[in-house]
Amino acid sequence: MIYAFTLGYNLVSEIEKVTKSLRALNDCNCYKHLIIDLGFPLEKDEIPDNIEEAKSRNSEALKELCNNYKAEYVKMENIGVSQNWTQVYNYIQPKDNDILIGCDPDEHPLDKNWLKAMESVALEGDFGLVSLMMTTHIPLLKNVAHNERWFANRRVYILPAGALNWALIGITGKFFNKVKEIPYPKKMPVYGGIEASLYPYFQELGMDWSVLADFRVRHTDFELGDPGTSSLLRQWKNQIIFNIHQYGQLTFDEWLIMKKEGRI
């Protein structure tokens, strides 16, 4: 079974874009889509007067979105990206031959039937994790050592640890049932570091990871000029990644309050 889930920590309008795309590019009978309400504090790209009221209105909008697109609405506490994956794993309790695919609001796949491709490659190749090919990585491959192989009649790249970061990924139930959780660096409890945290497990369990060469995904971002994306969300991510030495990894709520009060 394919479980496609969207960690809904973004504007509802951006979540709707990936939900529409999911249905347009994939056979709607081959997967189950879950939208995880994590309490996003923005309704538009400005700091609200009351963060909790904004979250509540977003929750209602997500429920309506799920109803319109026949997705399952799930409310969870936002405890960090990697920990949120673990929450979803515990909620779904997948079998070994299932796959959990993260359909992030800022990752836009470009090719048809990409869900089935991820599932088929992961199961035939006994991979723990599979990733779509990020468009910005395509020209970089000539400088990266990699092997090209075929699984489920699809071209796959096998790369060394640390070669490329991941965009849109799927993790098999078999791998998840062995590791039980997505680990994360203790200094990065909110966002980032998933690659470095998972690499040791591939070697330990004898299950590799791979990239689907011909199934692409485009990362969207305010800094890339994508319409509808949030400048505030991007500023916060820059703060907790590039300026982590200042305040550690502030939550988005904390950062918004500090910004509104002129303390950041």
Q: Which residues contact 141 (CB under 8 A, 6 or more apart)?
A: 157
pLDDT interval class at 21 (50, 70, 90):
very high
Q: What is the CATH number of the domain that holds 207?
A: 3.90.550.10
Structure tokens that stand for 37 in this block: 């309400």
Q: Which residues contact 118 (CB under 8 A, 6 or more apart)?
A: 2, 99, 101, 130, 132, 170, 212, 215
Indicate whether 195 and 130 sit together in one domain. yes
Domain region containing 250: 223-260
pLDDT greater than 90 at residue 85: yes
What is the pLDDT, as a whole number, of residue 83?
A: 98
Torsion sign (Cα): 177, 174, 15, 189? positive
Indicate whether 137 and 248 sit together in one domain. no
Indicate whether 203 and 236 sit together in one domain. no
Query: One-letter amino acid identity for 26?
Result: N
**For the chain, how many structural domains are there in total?**
2
Indicate whether 169 and 214 sit together in one domain. yes
Torsion sign (Cα): 10, 16, 21, 27? positive
Averaged pLDDT, 252-258: 97
pLDDT greater than 80 at residue 251: yes
What confidence tens digit (pLDDT) does each residue in 190-238 have?
999 999 999 999 989 999 999 999 999 999 999 999 999 999 999 999 9
Q: What value does the mean pLDDT of the chain take? A: 96
Indicate whether 181 and 242 sit together in one domain. no
Indicate whether 174 and 152 sit together in one domain. yes
pLDDT greater than 80 at residue 28: no
CB 120 within 8 A of CB 170: no
Indicate whether 177 and 248 sit together in one domain. no
Indicate whether 70 and 150 sit together in one domain. yes
What is the pLDDT, as a whole number, of residue 161?
A: 86
Indicate whether 136 and 236 sit together in one domain. no
Indicate whether 43 and 169 sit together in one domain. yes
CA distances (Å), origin 72, targets 29, 36, 114, 185, 238:
14, 8, 20, 30, 31
Indicate whether 166 and 255 sit together in one domain. no
Indicate whether 17 and 94 sit together in one domain. yes
What confidence tens digit (pLDDT) does each residue in 113-137 have?
999 999 999 999 999 999 999 999 9
pTM of the model: 0.96
